Amino acid sequence: MRVLIDVGHPAHVHYYKNLAFKLKEQGHFVLFTCRDKDVALDLLAQYSLKHIVIGKPFKGVIKKIIGVFIFDVKLFYLIRKYKIEVVFSAGSFYAAHAAFLNFIPHFTLEDSENFEQIRLYRPFSKLIITPKYIVNLGKKQLKVNGFLQNSYLKDNYFNPDEKILDRYNFQKNKPTLLFRFVAHNATHDIGLEKLSVVGKTELIKKYENKANIIISSETPLPQDLSKYKIKFQASEMHSVIYKIDLLIAESGAMTNESAFLGTPNIVIVDKDLNVHKEYERLGLKYHIKKYGSDLESKIDEILSNYKEVKINMRERSRNFQSNSIDLTEFLMWIALNHKEKDFKNKLINNFQPHVQ
């Protein structure tokens, strides 16, 4: 089988890396395509996954529209050049268009509920694979019992480095906090509140004497915060998330990973996405819509009893994981059997009771 996987975000590399490993072990060809984004490229290199960069991400609405045509064409010709038989992505309309024009199937993972993207890829995709809590996306949707993080953070795939934080001279009697600030360049970030440099500094200063601080930021940090900048490779981040005591992030992707692993986390986003609601329902995430007193009150509440909060959340995570799908095996079955007659019904039957 000859497989192309298009990724647009570092998390997408993780969604599909174990599928790629399994396919390569069996002698199949796997090619990743991506935009020129440093973390995604770092991950692909660190995992030794064959990849081609098809260009830099476009910024601004008009340029993004132009970028659709440019990336569609590039992927169209790559599919032909490498004789690709099936395409996977996580909501890439570029991949969907290019696969459709080459008369091959496109399968996508979806949990962002970013409808401007969904409208662009849904007509050209064979199946849209979502967690069960996602809204109805039509007859092409298959709902699975689990999260997209099942494909790489489920305990049969993830083994944390228990000594990952030892490279820091952290005080053992203090909790460790990771702050994650994003650039807000994606289309679904338009209009969302951003914290100013002064606001970031004030927030960190409030907790720097109460906790060990780590900062991960897509934008430059002021000089007085640079000492907290993270020192890890991209492939080490899940071990970091596993070992810290609290993640505070504008990144839904990173807080989803933290929630799945059972590490206390607060997502700061002014949207009521179902992925956040479901993790909240399971007792694995806290959702604050804006920076301010509500956020600080929640941080203070967690820190007042952080050890017990983490123990309880980790137990809830283990209970959930034990009753959820192995998403990588599900994707593997799709990759190898998508040409079979009555493929969809066979897929559903093979993965009961985790598919609907």
pLDDT along the chain (356 residues), means of 10: 96 97 98 91 96 91 90 98 98 98 98 92 98 94 97 96 90 94 58 71 94 91 89 90 96 92 95 92 95 94 97 97 96 97 95 92
Kindly report the CATH number assigned to the domain that includes residue 180.
3.40.50.2000
Which pLDDT does position 349 carry in this prediction?
96
Do 173 and 246 share a domain, yes or no? yes
Give me the pLDDT at residue 267, please: 95
Are residue 6 and residue 75 in the same domain, yes or no?
Answer: yes
According to DSSP, the residues that pair with 213 across neighbouring strands are 177
Indicate whether 203 belongs to any domain. Answer: yes
Do 118 and 212 lie in a common domain?
Answer: no
Verify that 131 and 202 share a domain, yes or no.
no
Is residue 159 situated within a structural domain?
no
What gap in Å lies between CA 27 and CA 165, rounded to an integer? 37
118 and 188 assigned to the same domain: no
For 137, 292, 294, 302, the CA distances from 297, given in Å and listed in that order, are: 37, 9, 5, 9
Output the pLDDT for position 184: 53
- Tell me what pLDDT residue 234 has: 87
Count of domains in the chain? 2
pLDDT in tens, 286-304: 999 989 999 999 999 999 9
Whether residues 317 and 332 share a domain: the answer is: no
Question: Which amino acid is residue 154, in one-letter code?
Answer: K
Find the length of the chain: 356
| pLDDT the model gives residue 37 | 78
> In terms of domains, do 197 and 103 share one?
no
Query: Is residue 200 located within the same domain as residue 134?
Result: no
Angle of helix 252-261 relative to helix 306-321, nearest 10 degrees? 80
CA distance 99 to 3: 11
Q: Which residues of 328-337 are buried (b: 16+ CB within 10 A; e: fewer)?
A: bbbbbebbbe
Same-domain pairing of 88 and 44:
yes
Domain that holds residue 132: 2-154+324-350
Beta carbons of 97 and 72 less than 8 angstroms apart: yes
Predicted confidence at residue 194, as pLDDT, reads 62
Q: By C-alpha distance, which of 134, 149, 133, 131 is closest to 255?
A: 149
CA 132/CA 275 separation, integer angstroms: 10
What is the structure's pLDDT at 189?
Answer: 44
Clarify whether residues 61 and 120 are in a common domain.
yes
Instruction: Identify whether 338 is part of a domain.
Output: yes
Q: 170 and 142, same structural domain?
A: no
**Residues 268 and 331 grouped into a single domain:** no
Cβ contacts of residue 199 below 8 Å, gap of 6+? 291
CB 151 within 8 A of CB 187: no
pTM: 0.91
Look at residue 355 and tell me if it is in a domain.
no
Residue pair 14/239 in contact by the 8 Å Cβ criterion: no
DSSP codes joined into one string, 276-309: HHHHHHTT--EEESSSSHHHHHHHHHHHTTHHHH
Any domain includes 300: yes
- Rounded CA separation 145/165 (Å): 33
